[in-house]
Amino acid sequence: MTTPVAYCPALFLTAPASNQGKTTITAALARYFTQQGKLVRVFKTGPDYLDPQILAQASQQPVEPLDIWMAGVEYCQDKLYQAAREADLILVEGAMGMFDGEPSSADLAARFGLPMVIVMDVKGMAQTAAAVVSGLANFRDDVEVSGFIANRCGSERHAQLIRDALPEGLPLLATLKRDEEVVLPERHLGLVQANEVRDELEVRFNSAVEWLNSSPDKGLLTLPKAVAFYPATSYSAATSEPITQSLAGKTIGIAKDAAFSFIYDANLVTLQSLGAKLVFFSPLKDHHLPDVDALWLPGGYPELYTQALSENTLMREAIRAFYQSGKSILAECGGMLYSLETLTDLEEKTYPMLGILTGQGAMRGKRGCQGMQTAVLPQGEIRAHAHHRSRSANTPTPVAYGRRQRHPAPGEAIYQTRGLTASYLHLFFPSNPEAIAQVFLGNRVSMDEAS
């Protein structure tokens, strides 16, 4: 039987470091080709909730994470294959620097044959930019680099110095001038959520398309070469049911509003594949819980809405009563902070929260914790990540700790009391759907069985 192959133009945008303009340029490209009538599917490397919101608005299509460690090779392969079957262009935005992390952006691109384009802020350098990019392009034989984007280029003379210094076979695809009108808005955890600045983003996207068109180098404005994408051999969400209906007949209430929005679409799909019905509610605006069997309090920005969350006493009482009934609650990061007795915000004002988990939470400026971890739950191991700039104190004895990807020190504490499972960790549900089902069902096994 012939293996069905899907061909689609694809480009992987990478950089020598963070803050080089990858997201801005990826969004600009997505909007440019969307305006040309193309269906553009964008993926974001690694764990990220904020960039995908921006990229989804720019492309007008859902944006999903691609991470070999967090999701697995088969999962990533299936997502790329399904996208290639419908899209006119696939864009993948890398994380951090090109070779940072295990696996890195370069590892992902090499695994799936994705040509890379290097984005670099060239302010303050000229020929040196060419040397850096050339070194990156030739660092590994299994990575294909198809060009260079010079961001924040000062003038045509500046561009020409870079252009002349680049080796043959490494073209300058775009020279983008410094333009604050296209820079995406940020705050302490990264980009501002798209739903907070939707109209502003539309203005910036339109400016970004003009920004691309203004480049003397036009290599980015034509579709890249097509890449062959193959279906995954053991996992295909489109053709099979890879997981059992463990949550059939169960309804899960999911907090979703400006304070709680760090939700992977892949997590929602996993819950639905398990048979669950999903209902959304707002801890900020609603006064009563929907009729549900379990709750999910995901991460977000509760620290920006401490007063409003605290003053919604009817919702706080409803969630406390739900907890007292012994029903299951999963609280992740911001959801865990909401679960504590108090939360001190960025202005050092302290407000009462749910009080279903003993302890106090407080923001701590620029210091924080981030990184990949495995949540070692009694229900099973689930791949996860941490990204926060807060601390908690006087919390109960943890039932377990996260296992860091590359460091022997214990990771984030994991708490379980009554039906509550709480941690700073953001869980990636597709990595172990059955364990997630057991969390929402409130079933626990011994740690020996889980391992």
- Residue by residue, DSSP assigns 342-371 as EEE-TTS-EEE---SSSSEEEE-TT--EEE
| Distance in angstroms (rounded) separating the CA atoms of residues 403 and 145 | 34
| Distance in angstroms (rounded) separating the CA atoms of residues 357 and 421 | 10
76 is catalytic: no
How many other CB atoms are there within 10 angstroms of residue 253's CB atom?
Answer: 23
Q: Which of 8, 153, 333, 369 is catalytic?
A: 333
Contact criterion met (CB below 8 Å) for 185 and 200: yes
Q: Is the dihedral of CA 439, 441, 445, 449 positive or negative?
A: negative
Tokens 């203005």, located at residue = 203
Q: Give the CA dihedral 258, 45, 434, 326, nearest 10 degrees.
A: -20
Between the alpha carbon of residue 171 and those of residues 10, 40, 286, the distances in Å are 17, 24, 54
| Distance in angstroms (rounded) separating the CA atoms of residues 236 and 74 | 8
70-82: b (≥16 Cβ within 10 Å) or e: bbbbbbbbbbbbb
| Distance in angstroms (rounded) separating the CA atoms of residues 78 and 229 | 9
**Residues in contact with 449: Cβ distance below 8 Å, sequence separation at least 6, in sequence order:** none
Residue 298 bridge partners (DSSP): none
| Distance in angstroms (rounded) separating the CA atoms of residues 196 and 188 | 15
For residue 167, the 8-state DSSP code is P
Q: Is 222 left (phi over 0), alpha (psi -120 to 50) or beta?
A: beta
> What is the set of active-site residues?
333
